[in-house]
Each structure stands twice: as C-alpha cells, then as structure tokens.
Amino acid sequence: MTHGLDREWVQDALCALHDAGYQKGGARQAVIEALASHDCAVTALELEDDLRTSEVAVARASIYRALDQLEALRLVHRVDVGRGRASYERAERDGEHHHHMVCDRCGRVTPFEDGRLERAIRRVSDGATFDVKEHEIVLRGLCPRCS
C-alpha cells in the first residue's frame, strides 16, 4: 500500500501540531512519516513494524499517543475494520475520503470510493434524527486472490 510519501500531508500535520502547541519530537515525527507512506488504513502494530525496520526506534506507547493526538486534530481518521483492532489513515484536507473492502479470509483491506454511495449517505444523514458528522462503510467478502 506504500505509494511514496505524501510530503504535503506531512507538512500539514507538522504545522497543525505546532499551531496546536505541540513541540517537536522524533517519535511523533516518525509516526507521521510512516502514516504518510500508506494510502490506506494501517493498524498501530503495523506501524510499529514499519518503524522497527526503519532507522528510528519508536515505542509502542508513543505510536498510540501520536495517533491519538493526530486524530484529535483530525489529521488522521480512525477506522474500525473489525476484530478489535483499530486502523488509522491520513485524513485529506479537502474532506475527500474512501471506504474499505475487507477480505474475510486473509484480512486484506482495499479502498474504494463511489459518488453515488456518498450521495445516498448524505441524503440519509440529512434526514436523520442524529446530527451526523461522519460515516464509515465496510464491505466484507473475499478478495480476488482468495475467492
């Protein structure tokens, strides 16, 4: 899923953190760069693996702390693809987003997007009793490799 670092998002994130009063820190920066190299949801433990093989060593606790902070600033989205593990992915500035297909067999996660689906969601949200702020859609089944 790595597709080249999204440098623009890294800059945005560092800037937003600075504005929010955070100081500089190597662990957090490493987490940000690891996130920037993924185009779709990754778990905290996958990030830990990424970082273990990189030059910087980052403690698991620091990964979770950084993810919490980034989520609070809406720089990352927390995604629940099931089985009790949370995943995280970059939030785009323009609100653009995708959803996920998860393979029941191998766990592979693949993103997709669909305008008509988004419109249907918006229509439902507008008519709902809740004040809806976000939505999450997960399709489950078998990936091409497993089916």
Partner DNA sequence: ATGACTGCAAAGCCTTTGCACGCAA
Partner DNA sequence: TTGCGTGCAAAGGCTTTGCAGTCAT
Binder of residue 57, out of its own copies, DNA, none (CB less than 5 to 8 A by kind): DNA
- Can residue 43 be called a binding residue for its own copies (CB under 8 A)? no
| Sign of the CA dihedral running 14, 20, 21, 27 | negative
| 103 in contact with its own copies (CB under 8 A) | yes
29 binds DNA (CB under 7 A): yes
- Least Å from the CB of residue 126 to DNA: 31
**14 counts as binding its own copies under rule CB under 8 A:** no
d(CA 98, CA 113): 5
Nearest to 48 by CA among 29, 31, 65, 26: 31
CB of 31 to its own copies, least distance (A): 20
Q: How far is the CB of 53 from its own copies (least distance, A)?
A: 27
CB 90 within 8 A of CB 76: yes
**Residue in 107, 59, 4, 108 with CA at minimum distance from that of residue 47:** 59
- Residue of the chain from 13, 66, 70, 102 that contacts DNA (CB under 7 A): 66
The nearest distance, CB 80 to DNA, in angstroms, is: 9
State phi, psi for 15 to the nearest 5 degrees. -65, -50
